[in-house]
Amino acid sequence: MKQGTVLYLSRKILENRPYCAAKERVLKGRAGMTRKRILYISGSLGLGHITRDLAIAKELRRQKPEVEISWLAAHPASLLLREAGEKLLPEADLYADDNVPAEDAAKGFDLNLLKYASNARREWARNVEIFKQVTRKGEFDIVIGDETYEITIALAKKQVLIEAPFVMIYDFVGCDSVTKNPVEKLGVYMWNRMWAQWDRLFSGGKNLALFVGEMEDIPDKSFGFFLPKRRDWAKAHYNFIGYILPFDPAEFTDKARTRAKLGYGQEPLVVCSIGGISIGKGLLELCGQAYPTIRQEVPDLRMVLVCGPRLRAESLQVPEGVEVRGYVPALYEHFAASDLAVVVGGGTSTLELTALRRPFIYFPLEGHFEQQIHVAGRLARHKAGVKMMFSQTNPKSLAEEVISNLGKEVHHPPIPTDGAQKADRLIKQLLSK
């Protein structure tokens, strides 16, 4: 073979162009090993998206182990993917980190999502370009995005064209204003107007929209003036799959066994966590400040503060006796072992605690409409958790609430947690078309 031919073929292989992917598919098909290839893009703001995405991936492989999943995700989602032994595409190292503009937009415990979206325009544009590169090089049978709004917008506006079906995963519908600022109200309206036009992307049966939750989780109000009602619109265009957990709550009914596994004793245990972001540092320090007051009533109390992957444990200033940990894998096990949890009002941590039937206090980020309205509304409907406002809470009032709820019996009804299985069935139906 001539040297020029060798160099040309080598370049083709290295670039992994559609030519190569198609040829590989044909060869595997001849050998009876036809493989479905999935591009999975996980939202990387915190850790909530990737935990449910890994649960869906596990279900996709359960009956079809030949499914090949390639991932695009930034830190800290990429951390969990590597721990799980998943295949991250090389382009994932270039994928923009959504946490950076979010943390830049935050002021203390306040994060306005519209301000974050405005700050993230450069990162979103970069991610769309990487998405273009990846889909040009590889031939995928389906593309899944978990709250990847930049990709959804690019596809809806036809800035990017792909042949593969697209699946978008949501856990809230529509934006809301949490201030009286007219600029924010206008921004909310423009976002909702664009959101209501995404129905074209999910019409015709090619693409699929999955909603993680129940219909009642969507506010029964309109997107805005002359716009459709959210719940009716979602009912027409989304598939409701219930909730997704990375564990079976039935495996954690024996708290003593879980404690023994994790090295805890019989002392009252409070676990405080801010999830996968660094914005909740003030909440962890508030918990630490409340610790001495709680100890006056509960002398043997054990308090564990979990910083997560984006906040250095040594950056916290807390009293002696409070344990501080960095990133803790499978944090839900520690929730299951606890007598009370104190968390930021994120959708995943509060959902895990609700499913585990553990008492918890949650603080929605102020200015964060999803946590303030959507997550808080869902928890109120399930009668789970105690909502508190960070700006209205001091160490004494937090200590009183902790003492009041420590070890409290939880009686709310169970929630549906088979969302990963339902997502698996719907995605496989799309793959089989």
Angle at 306 between CA 301 and CA 309, to 5 degrees: 170
Is residue 217, in this structure, part of any structural domain at all?
Answer: yes
DSSP state at residue 324: E
pLDDT at 327 over 70: yes
pLDDT at 16 over 90: no
- If DSSP codes are grouped into helix, strand and coil, which group holds residue 128? helix
Per-residue pLDDT tens over the stretch 370-393: 999 999 999 999 999 999 999 999
Per-residue pLDDT tens over the stretch 89-108: 999 999 998 888 898 989 99
pLDDT at 319 over 50: yes
pLDDT at 17 over 60: no
The verdict on 253 and 240 lying in the same domain is: no
pLDDT at 329 over 80: yes
Question: Where does the pLDDT of residue 13 fall: very low under 50, low under 70, confident under 90, or very high at 90 and above?
Answer: very low
- The pLDDT score that the predictor gives to residue 420 is 97
Higher pLDDT, 206 or 10: 206
Nearest CA among 227, 229, 231, 196 for reference residue 216? 231
Q: Is 87 left (phi over 0), alpha (psi -120 to 50) or beta?
A: beta
Kindly report the number of other CB atoms within 10 A of residue 345's CB atom. Answer: 26
- The pLDDT score that the predictor gives to residue 114 is 85
Range 114-127 average pLDDT: 90
Total tally of structural domains belonging to the chain? 2
- The pLDDT score that the predictor gives to residue 98 is 86
- The pLDDT score that the predictor gives to residue 371 is 96
pLDDT at 213 over 60: yes
Question: Where does the pLDDT of residue 165 fall: very low under 50, low under 70, confident under 90, or very high at 90 and above?
Answer: very high
pLDDT cut 70: percent of the chain above it: 92
Q: Is 180 left (phi over 0), alpha (psi -120 to 50) or beta?
A: alpha
The verdict on 308 and 270 lying in the same domain is: yes
- The pLDDT score that the predictor gives to residue 119 is 85
Higher pLDDT, 151 or 19: 151
CA 242 to chain centre: 15
Is residue 11, in this structure, part of any structural domain at all?
Answer: no
The verdict on 154 and 258 lying in the same domain is: no
Is residue 323, in this structure, part of any structural domain at all?
Answer: yes
The verdict on 141 and 60 lying in the same domain is: yes
Is residue 12, in this structure, part of any structural domain at all?
Answer: no
The verdict on 221 and 363 lying in the same domain is: no
- CB of 148 closer than 8 Å to CB of 41: yes
Is residue 19, in this structure, part of any structural domain at all?
Answer: no
Range 62-76 average pLDDT: 92
CA 363 to chain centre: 17
- The pLDDT score that the predictor gives to residue 270 is 98
- The Cα–Cα gap between 287 and 270 comes to 10
Is residue 196, in this structure, part of any structural domain at all?
Answer: yes
- The pLDDT score that the predictor gives to residue 162 is 95
The verdict on 44 and 183 lying in the same domain is: yes
- The Cα–Cα gap between 397 and 390 comes to 11
The verdict on 253 and 220 lying in the same domain is: no
pLDDT at 394 over 90: yes
pLDDT at 430 over 60: yes
Q: Which residue intervals of 305-362 are DSSP H helices?
A: 331-337, 347-356
HEC profile for 21-86?
A: HHHHHHHHHHCCCCCCEEEEEECCCCCHHHHHHHHHHHHHHHHCCCCEEEEECCCCHHHHHHHCCC
The verdict on 324 and 376 lying in the same domain is: yes
- The pLDDT score that the predictor gives to residue 79 is 93
* Average pLDDT over the chain, rounded to an integer: 90
Question: Where does the pLDDT of residue 5 fall: very low under 50, low under 70, confident under 90, or very high at 90 and above?
Answer: very low
The verdict on 279 and 352 lying in the same domain is: yes
Per-residue pLDDT tens over the stretch 23-46: 344 334 333 447 899 999 998 788
- The Cα–Cα gap between 308 and 217 comes to 27
Q: What pTM does this model have?
A: 0.90
DSSP state at residue 329: T
The CATH number that applies at residue 238 is 3.40.50.2000
Question: Where does the pLDDT of residue 325 fall: very low under 50, low under 70, confident under 90, or very high at 90 and above?
Answer: very high
- The pLDDT score that the predictor gives to residue 21 is 40
Domain containing 372: what range?
Answer: 249-405
Range 292-297 average pLDDT: 98
β-pairing verdict for 386-387 and 269-273: unpaired
Is residue 18, in this structure, part of any structural domain at all?
Answer: no
Structure tokens at 433: 């078309």
The verdict on 102 and 173 lying in the same domain is: yes
Per-residue pLDDT tens over the stretch 239-272: 999 999 999 999 999 999 999 999 999 999 999 9
- The pLDDT score that the predictor gives to residue 332 is 98
The verdict on 60 and 174 lying in the same domain is: yes
The verdict on 285 and 324 lying in the same domain is: yes
Is residue 209, in this structure, part of any structural domain at all?
Answer: yes
